[in-house]
Structure 1
């Protein structure tokens, strides 16, 4: 059964990929989607047996992958409670995304290729979460990176999609370089890449040092920092986050899959899986907490001013991943995984809901061109409202149980950096509520800015256009059509900007069913599973899948914090809602006035803290300059000039001179012969004298 869960998506990829053109669009959709639903059903069976039931974790050996000297790497499936949680998250969201894509991608001519990529992505993630050694985990790690490149750049006719795919691939390679070094160092320290052997050796490495970077450092601290570098790239943490917003160039189902259940959660899973190592490296955990807290606040501030509906949700994902790492950093591994679990439901719901809005608006993504949609697409509005309630932590929704638990754990922890994490996540809670309700109000309420009401300019709902010109290099490109199909461009122009009346419509049922299922999870997943994940039943639920040191009592300590501290996130959630209600509903135009009061701050946030421009200045342009030097000066001026081009030029010069001897005059040839005969006689005379 375990093998079926992992390899059924691969089977779908192998059918729809090479043979999709032959079997057709609809069979490709049905086959891949059906296989994913079977995998999801089996995953829930495993979850019920291993995590919720009396079943124990197990390792199933499939085959020997390769042997190199003393290194023997097996392909095994490690299934414990942590794996079971990830299996249901990955397969459930992926199967619903497959189903949703049948409607969303209905008009795309390359549907078999799209569904094969989705299945490949799912297979890579499943190999990652079932890995029993670091090499197998790295295989899945790189597999999701490859599949994300293919999916983000799916509409390869668009230069922006190609650029976004390359950006995601390159930025992740930076993090993966550190991750690979961390794996190498683990092997050097333990002599193994198998989890059982590594975990057994971890306590004995607590106070050992390793000579790296010209000095002696704590071995496990350096190891965990290098491993976490990989998590920073894959999970889009501060400094290595720049790829994630640009990943919105892919189709909306891709955004839901990448940002809700698969690629971005890989880093969170990896840190939780390697908790026996991180528990022995408190300095590394402090760094994890600081990076997570910084990411939570940083991404939330940017989400305040974004106008593309998908980018707002993308920065929300980045911020929520920061929450998860704060939980991991203070030792609350189960809390971080719990938020990963609940986050998958409401974030997938929000992304797929945004896709339903985009379809309704004929592939318009700028919220300033929306408004008043709640009457036109009431079901989508209701589903996105549920997702927003869960994201902001409304009482008794999924996010209320998991996100608030992270803030409580950060306050209760005595580790260095924990209070910083508490402050950052607490402030981010208020900002999350504001930008989440801003999205709802701009999209579904206010004056319609579409169709016959298009004369109601976006200035009524968001900061004035001259501030955009002053503040954002990316704003013009972000305004329209990130997700527009190539073949839909004329339709978009006709409905959105050509003067014809745009008529928003509800999405087909095949797109609405996944929204309904995810909405149920967003409402009840927190309350149903809180006891098992982070409550009194946690020890029985996890069954040792997450390692806690003898001094780690974070689950108990968070229950003992002052009552008013526990209420702060809920209070800030309400404050954020009321602020958004006032700014965008009760007093339209307030946002423009606020932006005009602080144009530099607005431009700073709209330009995402200028990280793209900074990296372009520090890394991209110097790399291009260095490349041109090697190309023009090294390759062109030196190698080619002295090598192939130089030799060819000399041959041409020589033949040009020699050909002049072929004049066609007999007397010149006779003269040359006499000179030759004289030279030969002279040589024999001189040689004879000797």
Structure 2
């Protein structure tokens, strides 16, 4: 485990090599460096995971000090890496799933301008994400946090020649920066009150320094929650995620499904001891997740873009993780984070295969009948969609999502339980709506299936991990996160499993009735007045963009217009104007006429004599 730092160094070296290549490397060499660096990191991570499980370190954690970062008036954060069961789980997800996505991207991005630039950005992202999850203090975590934000901006706006893509990148950058400012304020509060940003020291000191519900800690955890909702696209900072689909599809899989958007979940789980001392904020975490998962589910139900449907489903699934955190189901939240990385990466990569095959068409209503033409992509959507819908017993998503619902029930949060069940029904409905419309019915476009190892291997691997096989991987969280109220199970767990499984199956059956065949009932509902109103409202994601435009953007632009005529600016502008006028007047006196000069000398002499006479009196 003393080689832990190399998991960061390998992708960082890949970033440096590709950045300084200035696009002169061939596609094969760029792919070798970009994919190979993450592959080496994944192999080393697998070795570290095996070592950790075979010979667990003392106290269940390994700390690797690299160097003293700074020491300023008692503020002395270290550049050190911390590995325990939580960061080990994240390490496996980031490097393992990240490698599969990089391998697929080497096929998907062939022929695109900026091939090496793409892998430079993704390598830097992997390095930043690893720094985020392995940092032993909140400042180092925040350094990685900002790094993934920068990479997100660069990758969303990868096709920068189109203005809409640049706008989407800018929107993601600004909205997530709002959350980052909240998080920075939270770090300031914690350091001022506890004198350290070392995560383990914070968790040890806080219970002795604060009483439960302390106002300062309440404010600090609320600020941390602000940072988490920004990065994880939860209410009210969720508006950036759907527009982030402007980036290449592997970017959507890497950043906006498997890794970056789960950073908020990791942050809350990592600082769980602080949130346990502020139960009101922890309750708010669950409420935010419950509301977000339902709102995002309705929004996904009417989208027509294949990637935007998956984007809203990501928002909804992260909502499940926040719900789990809010009810104290820490292990269930991380378990769902892991399984979600498997099946959502599968769905995004499969959507990339479909988009590539259909000549970059993304509207599902312009597809249809693709299951014969694209058998591997169809299998990927069936398995990934079933896992997303939590089909009972055979999918990874069932085991993780069912654990969350049980924990919500066992902890007495009935409202969040009902929200979770409603979200499960909506998830089944919109997921199989996508599958039935895109892959069944009349074929509306020509499609050519992808081929090759770089295309097939990631999809096949993720198909296996999205089944019950993926659920057999148990995150080693014992002793790292506290056990929740329903951890041991109970008599009602089987009944709840039957109910949740029935809800998932009911959603699939309803989707088949509505979206297979001629879809007359759906068309009639959509054509009705309430149907048109709700469709437009949900299609616009409940109008949050419109609301924020009126609350923030328009007042800001108005303020800019008012300040453009600022009186202070005009007053300062008088000085250069006075200089110009004086210059013009004086320049007219230099006209080359002898009489004018003689008169000026006489007038000057008279003025001087007058001043002398006045001074004499």
Normalised by the length of structure 1, the TM-score is 0.85
Are 2:325 and 1:392 equivalent residues in the alignment? no
Contact map agreement 1:114 1:151 (CA 8 A) in 2: yes
How far residue 651 of structure 1 moved from its aligned partner, in angstroms, is 2.0
How far residue 508 of structure 1 moved from its aligned partner, in angstroms, is 4.3
1:34 corresponding residue in structure 2: 36
Pick one of 581, 593, 597 that aligns with 1:669.
597
Contact map agreement 1:12 1:35 (CA 8 A) in 2: yes
2:544 corresponding residue in structure 1: 611
1: distance between equivalents of 2:18 and 2:51? Answer: 32
Pick one of 303, 306, 312 that aligns with 2:300.
303
Contact map agreement 2:441 2:517 (CA 8 A) in 1: no
Pick one of 272, 275, 286 that aligns with 1:275.
272
How far residue 594 of structure 1 moved from its aligned partner, in angstroms, is 1.4
2: distance between equivalents of 1:547 and 1:71? Answer: 30
Pick one of 470, 474, 487 that aligns with 1:555.
487
Are 2:456 and 1:512 equivalent residues in the alignment? yes
2:553 corresponding residue in structure 1: 620
1: distance between equivalents of 2:238 and 2:613? Answer: 85
Pick one of 505, 508, 525 that aligns with 1:577.
508
How far residue 685 of structure 1 moved from its aligned partner, in angstroms, is 5.4
2:14 corresponding residue in structure 1: 12
Contact map agreement 2:355 2:361 (CA 8 A) in 1: yes
Contact map agreement 2:353 2:449 (CA 8 A) in 1: no
Q: Deviations over 1:556-615 (max 9, x none)?
A: 2x4442532221111111111111111111452322111123221121111110111011
Change (3 A) 1:401 1:593: same
2: distance between equivalents of 1:573 and 1:180? Answer: 40
2:577 corresponding residue in structure 1: 649
How far residue 675 of structure 1 moved from its aligned partner, in angstroms, is 2.5
Are 2:202 and 1:203 equivalent residues in the alignment? no
Pick one of 338, 343, 346 that aligns with 1:341.
338
Secondary structure of 1:76's counterpart equals strand
How far residue 294 of structure 1 moved from its aligned partner, in angstroms, is 0.6
Pick one of 276, 294, 304 that aligns with 2:291.
294
Contact map agreement 1:149 1:166 (CA 8 A) in 2: yes
Are 2:189 and 1:185 equivalent residues in the alignment? yes
How far residue 51 of structure 1 moved from its aligned partner, in angstroms, is 4.5
Change (3 A) 1:51 1:421: farther
Which residues of structure 2 form unaligned runs of 5+?
none
1: distance between equivalents of 2:207 and 2:605? Answer: 93
Change (3 A) 1:312 1:51: farther
Change (3 A) 1:93 1:287: same
Q: Deviations over 1:285-314 (max 9, x none)?
A: 111111111111110111100000000000
Contact map agreement 2:294 2:316 (CA 8 A) in 1: yes
1: distance between equivalents of 2:512 and 2:86? Answer: 40
Contact map agreement 1:289 1:421 (CA 8 A) in 2: yes
2: distance between equivalents of 1:208 and 1:304? Answer: 41
Pick one of 76, 89, 95 that aligns with 1:91.
95
Contact map agreement 2:410 2:485 (CA 8 A) in 1: no
Change (3 A) 1:52 1:426: farther
Pick one of 477, 482, 492 that aligns with 1:542.
477
How far residue 260 of structure 1 moved from its aligned partner, in angstroms, is 2.4
Contact map agreement 2:395 2:468 (CA 8 A) in 1: yes
Change (3 A) 1:429 1:661: same
1: distance between equivalents of 2:22 and 2:235? Answer: 40
How far residue 410 of structure 1 moved from its aligned partner, in angstroms, is 0.6
2: distance between equivalents of 1:226 and 1:237? Answer: 14
How far residue 671 of structure 1 moved from its aligned partner, in angstroms, is 2.3
Secondary structure of 2:79's counterpart equals strand
Contact map agreement 2:283 2:326 (CA 8 A) in 1: yes
How far residue 52 of structure 1 moved from its aligned partner, in angstroms, is 6.7
Pick one of 394, 398, 401 that aligns with 2:399.
401
2: distance between equivalents of 1:234 and 1:97? Answer: 21
Secondary structure of 1:555's counterpart equals coil
Secondary structure of 2:110's counterpart equals coil
1: distance between equivalents of 2:144 and 2:496? Answer: 40
2: distance between equivalents of 1:514 and 1:107? Answer: 20
Segment drifting more, 433-442 vs 503-512: 503-512
**What is the CA RMSD across the aligned residues, in angstroms?**
1.8
Contact map agreement 1:51 1:81 (CA 8 A) in 2: no
Secondary structure of 1:60's counterpart equals strand
Secondary structure of 1:61's counterpart equals strand
1:21 corresponding residue in structure 2: 23
2:520 corresponding residue in structure 1: 589
Segment drifting more, 674-683 vs 255-264: 674-683
Are 2:67 and 1:63 equivalent residues in the alignment? yes
2: distance between equivalents of 1:297 and 1:2? Answer: 40
Pick one of 598, 606, 612 that aligns with 1:678.
606
1:48 corresponding residue in structure 2: 50
2:126 corresponding residue in structure 1: 122
Secondary structure of 2:435's counterpart equals helix
2: distance between equivalents of 1:201 and 1:421? Answer: 32
Secondary structure of 1:21's counterpart equals coil
Contact map agreement 1:401 1:526 (CA 8 A) in 2: no
Are 2:175 and 1:171 equivalent residues in the alignment? yes
How far residue 543 of structure 1 moved from its aligned partner, in angstroms, is 4.1
Normalised by the length of structure 2, the TM-score is 0.95
2: distance between equivalents of 1:58 and 1:372? Answer: 52
1:474 corresponding residue in structure 2: none
2: distance between equivalents of 1:342 and 1:629? Answer: 52
2:565 corresponding residue in structure 1: 633
Change (3 A) 1:49 1:183: same
1: distance between equivalents of 2:25 and 2:357? Answer: 30
Within-5 A mapping of 1:415-434: 418-434=413-429
Secondary structure of 2:472's counterpart equals helix
2: distance between equivalents of 1:595 and 1:686? Answer: 95
1: distance between equivalents of 2:336 and 2:458? Answer: 21
1:462 corresponding residue in structure 2: none
1: distance between equivalents of 2:42 and 2:374? Answer: 29
Which residues of structure 1 form unaligned runs of 5+?
211-216, 451-501, 534-540
Contact map agreement 1:289 1:328 (CA 8 A) in 2: yes
Segment drifting more, 432-441 vs 269-278: 269-278
